[in-house]
């Protein structure tokens, strides 16, 4: 969601505006509806801000240029308190002397009480935001404690909620102060210049040396120093790390959209997520988990918490983990988890799945699980993000930066990482399946090439999407692991093409949804492998016949060599044969490609669909 950039450079250098604007451009992928910057200029802080995309801010900067400066902050806002207007855009000024400006990501939950207090003290508010309350509190604190770090410390003690705050003050011209609680903030370490950002994309064009901050910390950057203290003032040290994503990885790599690039990145995303997880004997080694094996052997229940696409990855993983470990697995939407009195204790493993590592619903579910005594493992794509830090252990997916708002490669990487975890638990616990772990790993190793084969065959899917641009509704059916794939196919279409779409478990059709079938209704059917157990394949072929008989237009995703589906299919999209549990890693790809090209055919913004944000950092 909101993107944050801070920069301080050498005295003779005046590039703060360029650096901040470049950072904001790289953070556009987070989703936003207004943007602004503040620079320290002489004895004032100058701000420019505009509703809408960065172009509007650039136009404003052309019309009303800012003076050269070495210190600046910038913000892309996704509206929560107060609509997306020029006035509500950040930065916000505190006090009346024009010397202080502040930006914020998150929500200040007690802002009403604080605002009433300030209004009683005759403070005038320009905006409807919770952020402006903090700006005024900070200005007031600075008058009694004229040191921005100390003033920030005094203010954060009064705030409830989640926040990243960055502030500048004209009386301390070479300083930016940041604070974080439950919202992201990372430090970029330069040579004679330093950076702050919501994530490393903010400064990736300048440095790969980064510093991870813990919860409830304040960081003060000058051109030559980075000082970290806890909210109680205790000196602290961030954790230094090297950013392995390069700037080019965050660009579109020759594709028209980030989403197209990311769909085509999927063989790499799966390969990189599998990479380095086995020892020379082919046994899984997850040293990075740093959880005693004994503890993992004691687990008697697993709950997966996640939202949206990540939750569908969890639903796929449930089938595999239960099969391999015989441990019961429940999948809970993270925003429901806390409120359903979950059955969780010391023997429960709670696995969170999150691309961003910042989804507030998932973060809160993890915190709740820990309060209940559960062991928590985060499956996450973003180093330095909050959810891994709040968990007992993390298993990183290695999908690389996912910029398009709609998740694609992270989904495949999440399934892969969950499977690795399931196989590892099976290996540890001995059971009847443990001996087969190696065979599954070998099949998994073939998946990246098979994804590439699917991608190479997508020409027909693009054509189908082209002539379905006027569809009013599309249905998706699947069974077993194909059911969450159907849900994901429907979600992609809703998000990207704004078409009503529903995913169903095919067996559920006859219990109601078949009433939706009328002549010409497009239905995608994700067909399990003919090698699936319990006659699953035959059952779905019957389902296809049932809807075809009622006039549905059937677009069937089936394994190479599956001829049974042909008589009942208007279109057959082929994927290579694989083990039934691994099939989602292939069958979801045509559905992603379909949504991409249907959105493109409708002339929509593929990378930033309306009303959506990449990281959902509010509950
Ligand atoms: C859909 C999508 C969302 C995310 C969800 C969780 O395309 O991207 O449904 O999957 O908001 O996000 P993360 O994985 O960052 O926790």
CATH number of the domain that 199 lies in?
Answer: 3.60.20.10
**Alpha carbon separation from 140 to 63, 87, 151, 521 (Å, rounded):** 32, 21, 8, 63
Residues in a beta bridge with 212: 186, 239
pLDDT, residue 59, reads 98
Please state, in angstroms and rounded to a whole number, the distance separating the CA atoms of residues 597 and 468: 10
Please state, in angstroms and rounded to a whole number, the distance separating the CA atoms of residues 178 and 164: 7
Same domain, 471 and 507: yes
Q: Whose CA is nearest to atom 16 of ligand 1?
A: 354
Which is the catalytic residue, given 2, 99, 115, 494? 2
Q: Between β-strands 226-230 and 235-236, what pairing exists: parallel, antiparallel or unpaired?
A: antiparallel
Atom of ligand 1 at shortest distance to CA of 405? 8
Pocket probe for ligand 1: among 263, 304, 305, 309, the residue whose CB has the most ligand atoms within 8 Å is 309
356 lines ligand 1 (CB under 6 A): yes
- Write out the two tokens for 247: 């700037």
pLDDT, residue 432, reads 74
Asked, for residue 129, whether it belongs to a domain, the answer is yes
Q: How many domains does the chain have?
A: 3
587 lines ligand 1 (CB under 6 A): no
Q: What CATH number does the domain containing 440 carry?
A: 3.40.50.10490
Same domain, 138 and 198: yes
Is residue 353 helix, strand or coil?
strand
pLDDT, residue 93, reads 98
Asked, for residue 611, whether it belongs to a domain, the answer is no
Burial of 287 per CB tally in 10 Å (0-12, 13-18, 19+): exposed
Residue 171 near residue 251 (C-beta atoms within 8 A) = no
- Write out the two tokens for 590: 């045509």
Query: What is the mean pLDDT of each successive set of 10 residues along the chain, which is 619 residues long?
Result: 92 91 89 91 96 96 96 90 88 97 90 95 95 97 97 97 94 97 91 94 92 95 98 94 71 80 94 86 85 94 98 98 96 95 96 95 97 97 86 91 93 98 94 84 96 97 94 96 98 97 95 94 96 92 95 97 96 97 98 98 94 82
**Alpha carbon separation from 189 to 9, 216, 382 (Å, rounded):** 11, 20, 19
402 lines ligand 1 (CB under 6 A): no
Same domain, 485 and 449: no
Residues in a beta bridge with 532: none
Q: For residue 308, how far is its CA from the centre of ligand 1 (angstroms)?
A: 5
- Write out the two tokens for 31: 């989703």
Same domain, 389 and 468: no
pLDDT, residue 154, reads 98
Same domain, 82 and 170: yes
Indicate the residue among 456, 473, 490 that finishes a domain: 456
CA 433, 437, 442 angle in degrees (round to 5)? Answer: 145
381 lines ligand 1 (CB under 6 A): no
Same domain, 427 and 445: yes
355 lines ligand 1 (CB under 6 A): yes
Same domain, 147 and 240: yes
Q: Between β-strands 209-212 and 239-242, what pairing exists: parallel, antiparallel or unpaired?
A: antiparallel
Asked, for residue 254, whether it belongs to a domain, the answer is no
* Residue 523 belongs to domain spanning: 459-601
Helices 482-497 and 584-601 meet at what angle, rounded to 10?
Answer: 20
Pocket probe for ligand 1: among 307, 390, 405, 492, the residue whose CB has the most ligand atoms within 8 Å is 307
Q: For residue 612, how far is its CA from the centre of ligand 1 (angstroms)?
A: 10
Please name the helix (run of DSSP H) or strand (run of DSSP E) that holds residue 133, with its range, or none: helix 131-144
Q: Whose CA is nearest to atom 7 of ligand 1?
A: 406
Alpha helices in 81-205 (DSSP H): 111-120, 131-144, 148-156
Same domain, 539 and 553: yes
Asked, for residue 614, whether it belongs to a domain, the answer is no
Same domain, 399 and 521: no
91 cis-preceded (ω within 30 degrees of 0): yes
Q: Whose CA is nearest to atom 10 of ligand 1?
A: 309
- Beta strand spans in 268-384 (E): 301-306, 329-333, 348-354, 375-380
Please state, in angstroms and rounded to a whole number, the distance separating the CA atoms of residues 133 and 427: 54
Q: For residue 385, how far is its CA from the centre of ligand 1 (angstroms)?
A: 15
- Write out the two tokens for 410: 């992270």
Indicate the residue among 214, 249, 284 that finishes a domain: 249
Atom of ligand 1 at shortest distance to CA of 310? 10
Which is the catalytic residue, given 49, 409, 450, 614? 614
Q: For residue 318, how far is its CA from the centre of ligand 1 (angstroms)?
A: 18
Residue 2 falls in the annotated catalytic set? yes
Same domain, 349 and 268: yes
Residue 340 falls in the annotated catalytic set? no
321 lines ligand 1 (CB under 6 A): no
Q: How distant is the alpha carbon of residue 456 from its chain centre?
A: 27
Is residue 367 helix, strand or coil?
helix
Same domain, 510 and 438: no
**Alpha carbon separation from 385 to 44, 358, 396, 480 (Å, rounded):** 34, 6, 11, 33
Q: How distant is the alpha carbon of residue 481 from its chain centre?
A: 23
Q: For residue 455, how far is its CA from the centre of ligand 1 (angstroms)?
A: 23
Q: If you ran DSSP here, which 8-state letter would residue 79 be given?
A: -
Dihedral pair phi/psi, residue 121, rounded to 5°: -90, 15
Q: For residue 298, how far is its CA from the centre of ligand 1 (angstroms)?
A: 31
Q: For residue 404, how far is its CA from the centre of ligand 1 (angstroms)?
A: 11
Asked, for residue 255, whether it belongs to a domain, the answer is no
Please state, in angstroms and rounded to a whole number, the distance separating the CA atoms of residues 232 and 464: 60
Please state, in angstroms and rounded to a whole number, the distance separating the CA atoms of residues 42 and 183: 31
**Alpha carbon separation from 163 to 136, 186, 237, 365, 476 (Å, rounded):** 16, 13, 20, 18, 39
SS (H, E, C) 208-245: CEEEECCCCEEEEECCCCEEEEECCCCEECCEEEECCC
Asked, for residue 612, whether it belongs to a domain, the answer is no
Same domain, 268 and 245: no
Pocket probe for ligand 1: among 29, 198, 355, the residue whose CB has the most ligand atoms within 8 Å is 355
Is residue 151 helix, strand or coil?
helix
Asked, for residue 372, whether it belongs to a domain, the answer is yes
Please state, in angstroms and rounded to a whole number, the distance separating the CA atoms of residues 29 and 352: 23
Please state, in angstroms and rounded to a whole number, the distance separating the CA atoms of residues 83 and 89: 9
Q: For residue 275, how far is its CA from the centre of ligand 1 (angstroms)?
A: 24
Residue 111 near residue 145 (C-beta atoms within 8 A) = no
616 lines ligand 1 (CB under 6 A): yes
309 lines ligand 1 (CB under 6 A): yes
34 lines ligand 1 (CB under 6 A): no
Indicate left, alpha or beta for 254 from its phi (over 0: left) and psi (-120 to 50: alpha).
left
pLDDT, residue 77, reads 92
Indicate the residue among 249, 270, 289 that finishes a domain: 249
Pocket probe for ligand 1: among 306, 308, 378, 612, the residue whose CB has the most ligand atoms within 8 Å is 308
Asked, for residue 547, whether it belongs to a domain, the answer is yes
Q: Which of 488, 112, 502 is nearest to 263 (CA)?
A: 488
SS (H, E, C) 60-88: HHHHCCCCCECEEEEEEECCCCCCCCCCC
User: pTM value?
Assistant: 0.79
pLDDT, residue 249, reads 58
Atom of ligand 1 at shortest distance to CA of 382? 15
């Amino acid at each position: 969601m909101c993107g944050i950039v801070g920069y301080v450079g050498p005295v003779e250098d005046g590039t703060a505006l360029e650096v901040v604007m470049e950072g904001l451009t790289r953070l556009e992928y987070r989703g936003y509806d207004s943007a602004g910057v503040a620079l320290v200029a002489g004895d004032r802080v100058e701000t420019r801000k505009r509703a809408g995309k960065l172009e509007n801010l650039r136009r404003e900067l052309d019309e009303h240029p800012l003076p050269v400066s070495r210190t600046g902050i910038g913000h892309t806002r996704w509206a929560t308190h107060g609509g997306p207007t020029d006035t509500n855009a950040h930065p916000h000024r505190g006090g009346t002397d024009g010397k202080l400006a502040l930006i914020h990501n998150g929500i200040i939950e007690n802002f009403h009480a604080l605002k009433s207090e300030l209004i009683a003290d005759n403070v005038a508010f320009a905006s409807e935001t919770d952020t402006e309350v903090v700006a005024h509190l900070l200005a007031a604190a600075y008058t009694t404690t004229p040191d921005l770090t100390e003033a920030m410390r005094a203010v954060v003690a009064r705030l409830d909620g989640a926040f990243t705050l960055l502030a500048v003050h004209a009386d301390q011209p070479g300083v930016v102060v940041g604070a974080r609680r439950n919202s992201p903030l990372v430090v970029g370490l330069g040579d004679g210049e330093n950076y702050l950002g919501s994530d490393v994309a903010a400064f990736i064009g300048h440095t790969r040396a980064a510093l991870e901050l813990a919860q409830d910390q304040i960081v003060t950057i000058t051109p030559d120093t980075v000082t970290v203290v806890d909210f109680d003032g205790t000196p602290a040290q961030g954790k230094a790390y090297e950013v392995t994503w390069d700037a080019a990885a965050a660009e579109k790599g020759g594709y028209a959209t980030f989403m197209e690039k990311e769909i085509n990145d999927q063989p790499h995303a799966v390969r990189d997520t599998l990479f380095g997880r086995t020892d020379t004997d082919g046994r899984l080694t997850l040293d990075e988990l740093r959880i005693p094996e004994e503890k993992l052997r004691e687990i008697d229940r697993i709950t997966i918490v996640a939202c949206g696409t990540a939750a569908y990855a969890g639903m796929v993983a449930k089938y595999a983990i239960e099969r391999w470990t015989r441990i019961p697995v429940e999948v809970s939407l993270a925003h429901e988890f806390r409120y359903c009195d979950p059955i969780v204790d010391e023997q429960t493993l709670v696995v969170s799945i999150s691309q961003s590592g910042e989804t507030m619903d998932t973060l809160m579910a993890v915190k709740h699980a820990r309060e209940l005594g559960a062991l928590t493992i985060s499956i996450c794509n973003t180093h330095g993000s909050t959810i891994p830090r709040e968990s007992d252990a993390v298993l990183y997916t290695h999908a690389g930066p996912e910029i398009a708002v709609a998740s694609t490669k992270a989904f495949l990487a999440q399934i892969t990482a969950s499977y690795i975890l399931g196989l590892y638990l099976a290996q540890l616990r001995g059971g009847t399946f443990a001996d087969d772990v190696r065979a599954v790993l070998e099949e998994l190793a073939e998946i990246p090439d098979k994804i590439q084969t699917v991608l190479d065959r997508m020409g027909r899917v693009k054509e189908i999407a082209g002539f379905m641009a006027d569809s009013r509704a599309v249905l998706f059916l699947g069974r077993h692991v194909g059911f969450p794939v159907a849900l994901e196919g429907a979600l992609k279409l809703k998000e990207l093409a704004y078409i009503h779409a529903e995913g169903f478990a095919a067996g559920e059709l006859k219990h109601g949804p078949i009433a939706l079938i009328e002549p010409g209704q497009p239905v995608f059917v994700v067909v399990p492998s003919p090698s699936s157990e319990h006659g699953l394949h035959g059952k779905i072929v019957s389902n296809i016949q049932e809807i075809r008989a009622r006039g549905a237009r059937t677009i069937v995703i089936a394994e190479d060599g599956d001829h049974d589906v042909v008589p009942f299919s208007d279109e057959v999209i082929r994927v290579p044969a694989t083990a039934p549990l691994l099939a989602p890693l292939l069958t979801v790809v045509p559905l992603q490609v379909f949504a991409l090209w249907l959105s493109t055919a409708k002339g929509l913004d593929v990378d930033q669909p309306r009303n959506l944000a990449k990281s959902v950092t509010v509950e």
